[in-house]
Chains A and B, each alone.
Chain A
Amino acid sequence: NAGVTQTPKFQVLKTGQSMTLQCAQDMNHNSMYWYRQDPGMGLRLIYYSASEGTTDKGEVPNGYNVSRLNKREFSLRLESAAPSQTSVYFCASSESLGGNTIYFGEGSWLTVV
């Protein structure tokens, strides 16, 4: 019963470096999400995937790309990291869009120096 698993847990990047956050869920969910959480800002949606093969922008997509590799996996890529992307990133999944419980991973702490 792993639920939503995301890696890495912690990462320090230099400005301009790239990296990919990996996420996998084992609940056979159709929809997956990437959020970022900043102090005093709550959670903001970066990108989501309603179902395998589709991705859509959320509230703060600039500077990020995503790939829905298959039904289980949804990765988030920072092509050229900036200090403003220092944040805690959460992957999440739900059975489908629309009024379902969302299950979250444990978070990835990213620092860009």
Chain B
Amino acid sequence: SQQGEEDPQALSIQEGENATMNCSYKTSINNLQWYRQNSGRGLVHLILIRSNEREKHSGRLRVTLDTSKKSSSLLITASRAADTASYFCATGAKASAGSYQLTFGKGTKLSVIP
């Protein structure tokens, strides 16, 4: 079953604007990751935030995590046409017998219009 759910499903913005995508999840997690997927390609890791962290930055990316609300957001500032892609959150949690599971959401499709 899917753990993370992204919102919105699709987002269209003008180049230069900021893009915000949200991810909600249901159970306790160890960490949350964001990935990007260009059309027809594999997923590329963007950023990982651990459950004891509240905010992380990487270049134009800012990720927040609110474990009390079981939600995370990904902000892309000053968007570029090259940011057009699908963005996925993935929640990492301990599963049974010491194993670990990373569960992906369905993604937000971002279109940045030049």
Contact = CB atoms under 8 A, between A and B. Distances in A.
Interface of A is mostly: loop
Given A59-B1, A99-B100, A41 B106 contact: yes
Contact of A99 (B2, B50, B107): B50
A19 interface: no
Interface in A43-60: 43-45, 50, 56, 58-59
B42 A106 contact: yes
Given A97-B100, A98-B30, A102-B102, A90 B43 contact: yes
B31 A40 contact: no
Interface string B38-68: 0011111100101000000000000000000
Nearest to A4: B42
Contacts of B102: 45, 102
A90 B106 contact: no
Interface string A25-45: 000000000010000111111
A101 interface: yes
Contacts of A50: 99
B90 to A, nearest CB: 8
A101 B45 CA distance: 7
Contacts of B94: 98
Q: How large is the interface on A (under 10, 10 to 19, 20 to 34, 35 or more residues)?
A: 20 to 34
Nearest to B45: A101
B41 A107 contact: yes
A43 B88 contact: yes
A98 B102 CA distance: 8
A99 B105 CA distance: 17
Contacts of A106: 41-42
A104 B37 CA distance: 10
B48 A98 contact: no
A103 interface: yes
Nearest to B40: A107
A41 B6 CA distance: 12
24 contacts: A40-B106, A42-B2, A42-B88, A42-B105, A42-B107, A43-B88, A44-B104, A50-B99, A59-B1, A59-B103, A92-B43, A98-B94, A99-B31, A99-B48, A99-B50, A99-B100, A101-B33, A102-B43, A102-B45, A102-B90, A102-B102, A106-B41, A106-B42, A107-B41
